Structure 1
């Protein structure tokens, strides 16, 4: 496969020329709707139970054709095939990238280094299913014979963000007997808050760490272990602690029985791992049938992504529109506006998925990319965001594309609330696109009795330029299958963008440097000896912390 420098590719040069032509002609999104009464039909797509409306973007059918040419020139189709085939496309770590295999049905052969991993995946799923059955049926109890009522997941990054987001999003489907808690931060306040809420006799801890050496996770795990042993004996650990890890010796040394370790593999990246045994807290919170539906929804999007042609492929279109906005229009960030309270953790989840994957500037060839890569991802739930940062989206100096996400049917019976919510969601995307001209503002103020001088002074402040792009993604309802499809949509979008930019979306070396430096600084904080060599700022901060911690 051949991936060209993006800015030097002929397709990219044509895209830039095309953009200059649109700009010279003064084409705005509102004009495109005026020219095509069926623009919504022509610029929307259904897949895996989701609808993507991308009509409110600054693009035409010619733009899309050129974007698809770019994808072909960057060999997206071959790279996609290599990923699904299990080739080691994570070349810096020599690993396959097969989170899609985690949600494939049983008896779907998938070979990695000669091993059929489908059988291994389903063996772990069967293990999870049996464990969930035992906990929910109270066959598995704590050391005193009491049923498990609280599950505390201790992990960080992908071992936390994905499971936590899904459990929050699907709370309407939760098993009534289990309360879920998540601890990730090394800040002791996080663990202290959870420990203050739970009863050790009825609590199950899940320690999620691939290597069982992740510093933040193991700090919290050992603190939780010490807290537990203030109430029980070491022999009781096996009834209250399980692990998701590849490191059997370390898990056993911690006090977790071998049969209570749930395995996963090096071809599962952390931010793509909620579909694996990392999803155990999801299965315990929702029940295994709902967890299976989550996998099935993601698999439906996988099938679509793998087989649909580029111009009718939802993840590919979302990715290419993102590249258009980032590298041609010059948009530095993407805001996620989820119009569903239960999706409040979704923007945070997407931050890691996108920014850890594509926050890179070195290509597969080992040279710097020559265009901007992953945008900053941020957002909140609607309508909260409207009363916080939407002012900046409408009238700020930066153009920020928005992905609106909404479910048509709610999980509650407050019908009027849902109408208001959807009205706000649709109105915000329309307002970003249409804006409000000075003539409209002046006419309204004149009708309201403002003087000519007041109109002259106030009109600039009340004018909206519009022409600001957005996508809208609609779910019929937020359920396990639709959420699975939604997550997989964004996973594949990020992957396609990485393919186009020529970067490795599946490593995260940028996370490592701070961890290494933190170990040296931690040693200095523990010690009264002279500091190891630091810059004056870091040395000064360490000195301040030493003084505070010793008083």
Structure 2
């Protein structure tokens, strides 16, 4: 069955399902709340409020079978060159576990273990100094993952080393970070795969000058020579990256050094173990009980069968407030493609716009549009069962709001006053972590990674290149001489804007 036929079949299923309101669909299947839920270790996910029934769900499983989803997972773990546009393996799974006997995967795992040993030594070395603050300089995948993890997990470890993040090339960002730090008790970590990223080089130079030299400057890069040359950092203070790990999948590597500094190396290892446990589940579990597959197929259903154009991530835990930012890059950079592996146009819509924020704050900003707006926005609601905070009443209220919103999204509420009527029929998935620990956090992110990959398999696109990121950077570099008054821009609108900037 080709992609067009599969899409037609899913749309036919959607036409049938949509004839029944979502609350009636749920009420007609008493076992649905139990059967449309999965648990993997500390992660529980309930899909009962998604707008499909068992027949439609089976059609999604059949679609996964038609594209050999499990075989493509095996290809990922075995290090086949599934990043065909760049002729690379994709082996972020090897950073956190050994799941394959393929020589390339075994070699990648061995390199990861060696780098991890160097990470531990560096963490211990810094712990023996008077350094209290470390500024992590990177952007995109070199920043979002570590930033999220430190924000979510810092309470799980020690706070002797405080980690700060600097990504934006805007000089105000550097000014704000450095204003509250003492250079005599600080160090800096420059993270760049190529060591050619403009933002990181400029901010790195600011840190080098602020620190008064390179003695407390460290780096993570695949280009050791360039890092050493550009910033005079000795090789023993440069940790490795590899071309078989994409930036948005790199927090499991030495790019995660800020995480290890913030929560301790043991905490970082627990995060890797959680991800590895989810890896094992995804690799070995049939699609019908595979958490990442359910999540991926639900996303395909909402995008292609129901035609929904955005997706919200709503974390009901303040520590996960950056999760939507992280997932925005993971999903949209991976799946924002319009051509298939052979270069032909994709026959279906691919990635929706991902966005979100933390409850309950977001209930007082954009939830009005989610409940009563004309566009239906499916959502992932993410909660944590056990709280680390000593305020039981607050945690109970947080849970009440989480449950209330998912119920209200699905069921709505009728009213004689149209201004107070809620249509309902808004699909959502509820994901619960037993507790927010490095292990459960690692498992959650791993699940999302595999969901993204499986969506790309269904759509026949490459999830591991990001050429769309490059064009703007190339044009920006061409415009620097024009902004300096040394040349003229080719584009007439740009010339007019440069006049205003001058």
Structure 2 length as normaliser, TM-score? 0.97
1:542 matched to 2:498? The reply is yes
Query: Quick one: which of 21, 30, 52 aligns to 2:16?
Result: 21
- Sort the Cα spacing of 1:464 and 1:203 in 2 relative to 1 into closer, same or farther, 3 A: same
| Matches for 1:16-165 after TM superposition, within 5 Å | 16-23=11-18, 26-104=19-97, 109-112=101-104, 116-136=107-127, 138=128, 141=129, 147-165=130-148
Deviation at 1:104, TM superposition (A): 0.5
| Matches for 1:152-231 after TM superposition, within 5 Å | 152-229=135-212
Tell me, in whole angstroms, the C-alpha distance in 2 between the residues paired with 1:312 and 1:69: 13
RMSD: 1.4
1:96-153 CA-to-partner distances (Å, cap 9, x unmatched) read: 0110000005x975522x97222111000011011112222x1xx3xxxxx1100100
| Contact in 1 for aligned 2:296/2:455 (Cα 8 Å) | yes
1:425-462 CA-to-partner distances (Å, cap 9, x unmatched) read: 0110000100012xxx24xxxxxxxxxxxxxxxx1111
Tell me, in whole angstroms, the C-alpha distance in 1 between the residues paired with 2:460 and 2:481: 39
1:363-407 CA-to-partner distances (Å, cap 9, x unmatched) read: 112111121101100011000111100111111100100100000
Structure 1 or 2, whichever has the larger Rg, is 1
Which residue in the other structure is 2:490 paired with? 533
SS at match of 2:151: helix
Which residue in the other structure is 1:409 paired with? 386
| Matches for 1:361-380 after TM superposition, within 5 Å | 361-380=338-357
1:521 matched to 2:479? The reply is yes
Tell me, in whole angstroms, the C-alpha distance in 1 between the residues paired with 2:324 and 2:11: 30
SS at match of 1:67: helix
| Contact in 2 for aligned 1:109/1:118 (Cα 8 Å) | no
Deviation at 1:174, TM superposition (A): 3.3
1:441-487 CA-to-partner distances (Å, cap 9, x unmatched) read: 24xxxxxxxxxxxxxxxx11111111110000000111100000010
Which residue in the other structure is 1:265 paired with? 242
Structure 1 length as normaliser, TM-score? 0.89
Query: Quick one: which of 195, 216, 221 aligns to 1:245?
Result: 221
| Contact in 2 for aligned 1:12/1:70 (Cα 8 Å) | no
Tell me, in whole angstroms, the C-alpha distance in 1 between the residues paired with 2:389 and 2:103: 44
1:255-304 CA-to-partner distances (Å, cap 9, x unmatched) read: 21110110021000000000000000000010001000000000011000
Greater mean alpha carbon deviation, residues 242-251 or residues 150-159: 242-251
| Matches for 1:452-463 after TM superposition, within 5 Å | 459-463=417-421
Deviation at 1:5, TM superposition (A): 5.2
| Contact in 1 for aligned 2:78/2:100 (Cα 8 Å) | no
| Contact in 1 for aligned 2:335/2:456 (Cα 8 Å) | yes
| Contact in 2 for aligned 1:347/1:380 (Cα 8 Å) | yes
Tell me, in whole angstroms, the C-alpha distance in 2 between the residues paired with 1:385 and 1:313: 30
Which residue in the other structure is 1:422 paired with? 399
Which residue in the other structure is 1:510 paired with? 468
Which residue in the other structure is 1:487 paired with? 445
Which residue in the other structure is 2:369 paired with? 392
Runs (5+) with no aligned partner, structure 2? none
Query: Quick one: which of 301, 314, 332 aligns to 1:324?
Result: 301
Moved over 3 A (4+): 107-110
| Contact in 1 for aligned 2:77/2:100 (Cα 8 Å) | no
Which residue in the other structure is 2:284 paired with? 307
| Contact in 2 for aligned 1:316/1:493 (Cα 8 Å) | yes
Which residue in the other structure is 2:260 paired with? 283
Which residue in the other structure is 1:453 paired with? none
Tell me, in whole angstroms, the C-alpha distance in 1 between the residues paired with 2:113 and 2:31: 46
| Contact in 1 for aligned 2:157/2:267 (Cα 8 Å) | no
